[in-house]
Amino acid sequence: MRHSFIVLAIAAAVLSGRPVLGQAPPGGEPDPGVRPTRLLDRPEVRITRVELQPGATRRSHTHDDVVYHLWVPVEGKLQLTVASDAPVAAQSGQAFFFKKGTPHGFKNVGTTPAAVLEIFVKQAGPAAQAALRDLAPELAAALVGGAQ
């Protein structure tokens, strides 16, 4: 039930056309203890699950190839930093919205692995809205179990 609510909240935010919160780390090298897994990549939308080991940091980066970006913690204790703002605690199921190019980074501040689901809207308009409606079951599966 909780996951269905989260999926509906994410879809509603994207479909409303509201801006969403801010890609490659400086130098292009990977961040130790951070493992992104691409779950879906379509012309309209990309979904990635990012797993972080305890203490791991995803360095500040931007996504300049998308229109909007949803950042949703799904497990663990995470801290999110947007631009030069102070870091904020991010609770599982909470959704953060970024516009294209917004600098952001995140860290697992807990003692167990953490995971975040990132939903990137590549195109705005009716085609993207229809694609997101069709993806609701896949979003729910990603929130529940990640990549299997």
What is d(CA 57, CA 41) in angstroms, rounded to the nearest whole number?
A: 24
| Structure-block tokens of residue 101 | 């190019």
Domain of 106? Answer: 2-145
Q: Mean pLDDT over residues 32-54, rounded?
A: 94
pLDDT attached to residue 102: 94
Q: Do 118 and 71 contact (CB within 8 A), yes or no? A: yes
Cα atoms found within 13 Å of the Cα of residue 102, Cβ hemisphere only: 22
Mean pLDDT (the chain) is 78
pLDDT at 38: 94
- How many domains, in total, are found in the chain? 1
Residue 22 pLDDT grade (very low, low, confident, very high; cuts 50, 70, 90): very low
Q: Does the structure show a pLDDT above 50 at 79?
A: yes
Percent of the chain with pLDDT over 70: 65
**Which has more pLDDT, 79 or 15?**
79
- In 10 A of CB 13, how many CB atoms? 17
| The pLDDT value given to residue 124 | 72
- Answer yes or no: are the C-beta atoms of 142 and 46 closer than 8 Å: no
Q: What is the CATH number of the domain that holds 33?
A: 2.60.120.10
More confidently predicted of 110 and 137: 110
Tell me the pTM.
Answer: 0.70
pLDDT (mean) for 28-41: 88
**Better-scored residue on pLDDT, 23 or 89:** 89
Q: Quick one: tokens of 147?
A: 């990549």
H or E element in which residue 132 lies: helix 126-134
